Amino acid sequence: MHPSLLQDAGCPKEIPHNEKLLSLKYESLDYDNSENQLFLEEERRMSFLGFKCLEISRWVICGLIGFLTGLIACCIDIAVENLAGVKYFVVKQNIEKFTEVGGLSISLILWAVLNAAFVMVGAVIVAFFEPGAAGSGIPQIKCYLNGVKIPRVVRLKTLVVKVCGVICSVAGGLAVGKEGPMIHSGAVVAAGVSQGRSTSLKKDFKIFEYFRRDTEKRDFVSAGAAAGVSAAFGAPVGGVLFSLEEGASFWNQMLTWRIFFASMISTFTLNFFLSIYNKKPGDLSSPGLINFGRFESDVSVCGLLGALFNILNYWLTIFRIRYVHQPCLQVMEAMLVAAVTATVSFAMIYFSNDCQPLGPDQSEDYPLQLVHICLFIFLVGLLVPTSIVKHLFCADGEYNSMATAFFNTPERSVRSLFHNPPGSYNPLTLSLFTLTYFFLACWTYGLTVSAGVFIPSLLIGAAWGRLFGILLASITPDGSIWADPGKYALIGAAAQLGGIVRMTLSLTVIMVEATGNVTYGLPIMLVLLTAKIVGDYFVEGLYDIHIKLQSVPFLHLEAPATSHWLTAREVMSAPVTCFNRIEKVGTIVDVLSNTSTNHNGFPVVVPVAVCGLILRSQLIVLLKHKVFVELARSRLTQRKLQLKDFRDAYPRFPPIQSIHISQDERECMMDLTEFMNPTPYTVPQETSLPRVFKLFRALGLRHLVVVDSENRVVGLVTRKDLARYHLGKHGLEEMQLAQT
């Protein structure tokens, strides 16, 4: 029997992590509609006006998705700003208080404790209440849109923990951003709104029932992800392209417009409520033009830095999978990172003497200059002699550049690197900050907290890019011929993020919309392509790495290049459990209850030739409602089911163990004709693997029946059968399947 149909009872429940394993615990989603008699009858009964109403409903849902996503993004922004402001105020007051009595060591401890406390709350709710809310959520959404059913990825509980967790993570001073979690939040909102009910709250609003299937939900989740990008960056077009480039497994023109509509509503909602709150949206606008005469070496370095970031995070993630898998250990690690980040920030300020005059157009909104001065008084007075204090102390009307980089929210730090005039940072400050923040961000991504990597990547690249611009101007006789170093910061930011996540077209548009100047489009596209090429030479993108480390059966756009010699006969699962068109109830119950297999699709044969395909979920609903054929001397009668009965059970179909079937009922028969899909996709057993892969991937299939020359079922191709083949260092390799 094929290994994908086995779950060896002798295998351990937990196995050491091995990247050459493919997990059996992930199931596929049904992105291909089952066109059974019930479905076709409903479609044929629907009038032209009915179809128009459904189309209007899709637009209404997309509008609701955009509105709610923008509202959530606004709440996250306001909460982070307020909590960060309170934290800064408390520390500043504490420093001023203890300056008078000479006991300032408590202030350093207070800063670290506040950060650790915020992060502890965020880590506890993720580790103990909803582990699915960890990280940015983008890899999980990519998998969902690819057709993989990731457990609890679009639940309401996941959304609540995600929002609260990212607020705590950012307010706790970790080297993270809130943009990735906003994308995940938008996807969860879309999954919930489009169903017109909440299964978590057991509340059904009796609306949008037609869309309760995987095919429709997928399209709305694409819109939600795009709305999240739009809310995070103020980039509606970039959101559409992000959804297309990074996730969507299906696309058409009308879907594009609906997704764009959701993105526009999301951006409008965010800007509207932030304007009421009297706060500017968090754009990265960088006015002015730029001469991108020479930036190739800067971009190549950022591509290398992106690859280095991914490699280090890869090994760190493997270590976490093997040794830091207990919730208590995960919370302790997150608190340790928060404390180390705070301590390193103080130490960096201590070693910095980069004092700059506070100009009238300074972009920092927080009154941090006083905090910077107080921190310097504290650190210098505590740790160094008075003679050195004179060299490190920033006078009135000055601020410390290192403190500006570390003690702002990451978004404000990025804007300061983009906007601040030449001379605002010296090369040593930028070098130390880049090196330190690079390793902090690498250590932070993958913690059991809700956090993204977009803004930390932009911040690292902006610092490195600005440093490159300063050095380029300093080594030339006439430095004025080079562009403002802030423009090199923009190029470095794009290249660093591109080198880590390997996005090209969508990231170009996001950066253009965020900076507000289309002039940057071509140079940014060139640097992103260069960074992607350089990074891909060494390692995959960060999201693909984390998908691979979770052993997810992810299907890329194309089959492995050297797989033409494989055929459907060699990759299919066999033998296959089939049902007759009229099957005994006891047989169906026994097959579904068999714990050694977990089939989700069953070919229907008459007598041996395939005549349809029926899903486990459909059989569960039929057994629950006892749709049995009447027998002699039996009072059981067959009940007429409608599609509503299947939609009401979606997506949490009950397990077979929860359905009671009596001994008399086991002897009844079940007619599958009306409920099976009578036109399943089939391929001959000699079909090449690339052709099978293209058909499976393009149509969003979950099962592909393999038949012989007489149309008899000889095997079944599933997602795992295709995903286990990949290109390795030594050509085409086959991964092993395991219950991990």
Q: Read out DSSP for 25-61?
A: SPEEP--S----HHHHHHHHH--HHHHHHHHHHHHHH
SS (H, E, C) 69-107: HHHHHHHHHHHHHHHHHHHHHHHHHHHHHHHHHCCCHHH
Q: How far apart are CA 709 and CA 712, in angstroms?
A: 7
- Could you give the angle at the alpha carbon of 191 between the alpha carbons of 190 and 195, nearest 5°? 105
Tens of pLDDT, residue by residue over 453-472, are 998 999 999 998 888 888 88
Could you tell me what percent of the chain has a pLDDT over 90? 46
Q: Which of 57-71, 532-546, 554-568, 623-637 has the highest average model confidence (pLDDT)?
A: 57-71
Residues whose CB is less than 8 angstroms from the CB of residue 558 and which lie 6 or more positions away in sequence, other chains included: 690, 693, 694
Give the lowest-confidence range in 212-216, 348-352, 492-496, 513-517: 348-352
Q: Please provide the average confidence, as pLDDT, over all residues in the chain.
A: 83
Q: Which of 248-257, 531-540, 726-735 has the highest average model confidence (pLDDT)?
A: 531-540
Tens of pLDDT, residue by residue over 311-326, are 999 999 999 998 998 9
Q: Say yes or no to pLDDT of 119 above 50.
A: yes
Q: In a 3-state reduction of DSSP, which class is residue 398?
A: strand
pTM of the model as a whole: 0.88
Q: How far apart are CA 514 and CA 224, in angstroms?
A: 19
Q: How far apart are CA 593 and CA 591, in angstroms?
A: 5
Tens of pLDDT, residue by residue over 565-593, are 999 999 999 899 999 999 999 999 999 99
Q: How far apart are CA 720 and CA 483, in angstroms?
A: 52
> All domains of the chain, ordered by start, with CATH?
3-26+557-614+668-738 (3.10.580.10), 60-552 (1.10.3080.10)
SS (H, E, C) 206-246: CCCHHHCCHHHHHHHHHHHHHHHHHHHHCCHHHHHHHHHHH
Tens of pLDDT, residue by residue over 390-405, are 333 466 666 667 777 7
Residues whose CB is less than 8 angstroms from the CB of residue 237 and which lie 6 or more positions away in sequence, other chains included: 260, 263, 509, 513
Tens of pLDDT, residue by residue over 154-172, are 999 999 999 999 999 998 8
* Contact predicate 432/352, CB 8 Å: yes
Q: Tokens 């103080």 — which residue?
A: 346
Q: How far apart are CA 4 and CA 176, in angstroms?
A: 38
Q: How far apart are CA 612 and CA 39, in angstroms?
A: 14
Residues whose CB is less than 8 angstroms from the CB of residue 481 and which lie 6 or more positions away in sequence, other chains included: none
The alpha carbons of the chain give a radius of gyration, in whole angstroms, of 29
Label residue 375 by pLDDT band (50, 70, 90).
Answer: very low
Q: Cβ atoms within 10 A of the Cβ of 570, count? A: 12
Instruction: Look at residue 293 in the predicted model and tell me its pLDDT.
Output: 38
